[in-house]
Structure 1
């Protein structure tokens, strides 16, 4: 299977944004990995070394103890939020609350 997105690079991009998200008052959960080669149902792992063939990563952000953003990136696409340098957590939260896509 051709990998369109390098999930290790995606994980690095998420890690680089964590300080900004935390500064915006968000609690950042651990990055999770899913292993394509694992038997079903596949478990989500927080330890990258336990995943031999990663096919997705996920992140959960909370604000005031409530879910703000829960998103996943598969080998092929980012579901919901773009991994861009200008991701503004407060605007993503506001848009999710209004039922709008994050990049609207």
Structure 2
């Protein structure tokens, strides 16, 4: 039992308004998205702090939920009929949907 490092009981603070603002700015459409250094500057934090926030599981979970909401909203606004949503092998269709939602270039 020599030289064993003890884990600290680190308490991770809950997400606050700055975290939710960062999530909002990180998940916007590519045309509207700010660079990460500018998001950090807007929130008065160092860019490495923003990076650490992005590594947090709770931050990632909220960010994924936001991306899902945006994706679902983009499908609802799409002029494509409902029957196309069931086509799973149409790669071109999915690429167009992801491109229109701003997830790929």
- Bin for the TM-score computed over the shorter chain: under 0.3
Query: Whose Rg is larger?
Result: 2
Normalised to the residue count of structure 2, the TM-score between the two structures is: 0.20
More strand by share: 1
TM superposition score normalised by structure 1: 0.20
